[in-house]
Structure 1
Amino acid sequence: MLDHVGILVADWNKAKAFYDAAFAPLGITLLNEVPVEFTGGVKVGGYGKEGPDFWLTEATETGPGRHYAFRTETRADVDAFYTAALAAGGTDNGAPGLREHYHPTYYGAFVIDPDGNNIEAVCHAPG
């Protein structure tokens, strides 16, 4: 249904460092940085596996509270994301574990990024 999404970040370098580290266990990397000549001097970049699906745009007003969940293949990927995101400066918002109230096989972990967004890794595969 969605082709891509984006969030606003207050500090491009801090956000980039966070997402580079948090996404590394999931195989997600920064695939595209839009030249500042085309953005009016604003730093913009897209993360993904095959194409840029999750975009960061540097801005003065970020508006925390958004939620984004990234699907993983294994529960170990969820655990690795959580560990990497915390080490990169994220804040715990729900340790890795089953969330059976959502679905019997829903295994997820939640981290608040440096701009206040709730970032999740989730695996739907059975244990």
Structure 2
Amino acid sequence: MTGYTGSTIDHLNITATDLATSRAFYDAVLPVVGVDKLLDVPAASDRPAMVGYGRDPKPFLWLVDGDTTDPNLHLAFTVDSRADVDAFYTAALAAGASSRHAPDVHPEYHPDYYGAFVTDPDGTNLEAVCHLPAASD
């Protein structure tokens, strides 16, 4: 295939036990990290309802209507600045997330790792992270 080098993750499905609640949450939070809702796929006889998020034209994150979630699921978005991390955290809390870790430097990962962690409506651990030094953003 042309245009692809190496191995990449194409997309990720996350179960949403209340798709309407999760859709409202992700609709409010993901634009802060540059990810937009691109598709609503209704349920059919061979699949549950799904909502696709990504960057036009390709969804890479799918909310899938279901009843079982993974308590260990963690999804992190790389952002361009520490201010973007702060904005993600603020938007997520305003949309109903609970805080896991407020925005802060996490030197256990590397000296410039600035991240914020929240829990979405289904218990998924979401994070926004900036890897740049404070002087760079």
Q: Residue 52 in 1 paired to residue 59 in 2? A: yes
Number of residues of Structure 1 aligned to a counterpart in Structure 2? 126
* TM-score of the superposed pair, with normalisation by structure 1: 0.92
TM-score (norm 2): 0.85
2:110 to 100, 103, 106: 103
Q: Is residue 112 from structure 1 mapped to residue 119 from structure 2 by the alignment?
A: yes
Over aligned residue pairs, what C-alpha RMSD do you find?
1.4
> How far is the alpha carbon of 1:5 from its aligned partner?
0.9
Show structure 1 runs of 5+ residues with no match: none
- Is 1:62 matched with 2:69? yes
For residues 29 and 85 of structure 1, do their structure 2 counterparts lie closer, same or farther at Cα, with a shift above 3 Å needed? same
Identity, in percent, stands at 48
- 3-state SS of 1:46 partner: strand
Counterpart Cα distance in 1 of 2:42 and 2:22: 18
Q: Hey, what's the Cα distance between the residues in 2 that align with 1:121 and 1:5? A: 17
Per the TM alignment, residue 39 of structure 1 is displaced from its structure 2 partner at its CA by: 4.8
Quote the residue 1:6 is aligned against: 13
Cα shift at 1:25? 1.3
Residue in 2 that maps onto 1:31: 38
Question: Following the alignment from structure 2 to structure 1, what is the Cα–Cα distance between the partners of residues 133 and 59?
Answer: 29
Q: Structure 2: where are the runs of 5+ without partners?
A: 1-7
